[in-house]
Amino acid sequence: MEFFLDTASIEDIKFYKPLGLVDGVTTNPALLSKEGGDPIAQIKKIAEIVKGPISVEVTYTEPREMVKHAIKLNKLAPNVVIKVPASIAGLTAAQELKKAGIRMNITLIFHPSQAVPFIQLEVDYVSLFVGRVEEFGLNNKEAIWQLRQSIDEMESPTKLLSASIRNPEYLLEAVIAGSDVLTVPPSCWQMVYKNPIFQLGERDFLKSWRTLPATARKEYESLD
């Protein structure tokens, strides 16, 4: 399993990278706009820090423009992967991009059926929007499982990427249901580790520990 960070923030990438949580990065137009400034410069900065795949999305909806834009974005860094929407226009563009050898991450998948032709095309990643699936009243556990079965049944090298991970529950579902990659936003990792029950437990243990006289704690706590 690989973990990508779902962000365009340099600060977040620098924080999470040493924790082993940045095998790659997924950006999208919304995440890039949140950072402000020049998105091209931002992608280049990310590519200086992260050697794994960096997903960058086309901002056109017409196939020919999508292809042109993808070719341009693909030149930004050797590890760029182009995000193409899971639409008919996206599928049309994907045929061309595949021939050109451009790596693709198919985005905005809400129902596994959207991914099937792209799996057949052997794109690199299909991104299921786990959080948004649930917001539309669909069952995301089932959707991840169905996507997993589809990829395996079609014997495709395409990787299942679970995206739109909003909370620790979605994160676990995405792991258990068989994702190859999870792209997790910093806000979700914060929720995982700012768990109040954990914090209470840690505080209680240390409070009890400090009831021992300092002399008794000395050897145990020595770092020499």
State the minimum distance, in angstroms, from the CB of residue 51 to ligand E4P: 19
DSSP 166-221: -SHHHHHHHHHTT-SEEEE-HHHHHHHH--HHHHHHHHHHHHHHTTS-HHHHHHHH
Determine the Cα–Cα distance for residues 84 and 70; give it in Å rounded to an integer: 8
The one among 129, 144, 150, 173 contacting ligand E4P by CB under 6 A:
129
The answer to the question of residue 132 lying near ligand E4P (CB under 6 A) is yes
Q: Which residues contact 125 (CB under 8 A, 6 or more apart)?
A: 55, 81, 104, 105, 106, 158, 159, 160, 161, 181
The answer to the question of residue 125 lying near ligand E4P (CB under 6 A) is no
Token pair recorded at residue 5: 């960070």
Provide the 3-class DSSP secondary structure of residue 54: strand
The answer to the question of residue 3 lying near ligand E4P (CB under 6 A) is no
Q: Which is nearer to ligand E4P, 81 or 151 (CB)?
A: 81
Residue span 154-183 as binding mask against ligand E4P, x where in contact by CB under 6 A, dash where not: ---------xx------------------x
Token pair recorded at residue 88: 């008919």
Location of structure tokens 């977040």: 12
Residue span 41-80 as binding mask against ligand E4P, x where in contact by CB under 6 A, dash where not: --------------x-------------------------
Query: Any catalytic annotation for residue 83?
Result: yes
State the minimum distance, in angstroms, from the CB of residue 209 to ligand E4P: 40
Q: Which stretch binds ligand E4P (CB under 6 A): 129-137, 149-157, 167-175, 189-197?
A: 129-137
Token pair recorded at residue 72: 């341009």
Token pair recorded at residue 129: 């929007």
**Given the residues 68, 83, 98, 159, the one annotated as active site:** 83
Contact residues: ligand E4P, CB under 6 A: 6, 26, 28, 55, 107, 127, 129, 131-132, 163-164, 183
Active site residues: 83
